[in-house]
Amino acid sequence: MIKKIYKRLFSEKRRMKNRLLFSKLTSFFYFGNTFYCNCCGKSFRKFKSKGTSLKTRPNAECPYCTSLERTRNLLFYIENETPLLKEKLRLLHFAPEWCLLPILKKADNLDYITADINPDYADYQVDIMDIPFPDQSFDYIICAHVLGHVPDEKKAVEELFRVLKNDGVALISTIIDLKNPVTFETEDADTPEKRLRYYSEPDLLRLHGRDFDQRLARCGFKVETINYPAFMSAETRKRFALGDGSRELIFRCTKS
């Protein structure tokens, strides 16, 4: 009952801001120097656990800015391997992570546009299967953990390809079942409970396998699969809690 009243009183956007504020206020209880978050620049004795009833990931979420393994990994890649924070570029960011927003928004060199199916989460309400921008509109696209939730994945990837400029780059990620060579989908997964059992999360529509790069390439992209933490020391991977690769692989998709 309390949850229902809370949802009626506050918009989804306000609830998200309240959650971030609560995290910041309670992060004091995690004070320490064992783990470090490159998104907010703060250190902690541990990170928060994250997951579902099937599997919990220890030391996954930053207690202050709520960054996850994949966002910390992505920021490292953006800073070190792309010109996104240096050159004049136009960037489209789908389902923008709240811990990355302030970093990308303050980059004066970027024409930064955020998009989400939920208008409370971004500048523009956008269906990724029908992107309302002209062909070749963007130099870069960030699309992290979106395609597993989209009814028509192929149409969404075709739209990403369409609005990207020639030689433009899309940085895409998703949950990968590293043990499965092919993506798994079943019509039987028609309830949140079944989707959790089949796909590991209650709102996924498929669980991508190791063929995810091929699914992106079929729409015209040249795809490079990047396990960026593999280029770092074991100490760095542990200190920043960069995950096991099932959620953090970056698929660098170039429109050639």
Give the integer Cα–Cα distance in Å for 174 and 207. 9
State the pLDDT at residue 17.
Answer: 83
Instruction: Write phi, then psi, for 92 (nearest 5 degrees).
Output: -105, 125
State the pLDDT at residue 6.
Answer: 61
Q: How does pLDDT run along the chain (256 residues), one tens digit per residue?
A: 676 776 676 777 778 888 888 999 999 999 999 999 999 999 999 999 999 888 899 999 999 999 999 999 999 999 999 999 999 999 999 999 999 999 999 999 999 999 999 998 999 999 999 999 999 999 999 999 999 999 999 999 999 999 999 999 999 999 999 999 999 999 999 999 999 999 999 999 999 999 999 999 999 999 999 999 999 999 999 999 999 999 999 999 999 8
Domain segments of the chain as ranges: 2-61, 70-254
What is the pTM for the complete model shown?
0.94
Give the integer Cα–Cα distance in Å for 112 and 199. 32
CATH class of the domain comprising 70-254: alpha beta
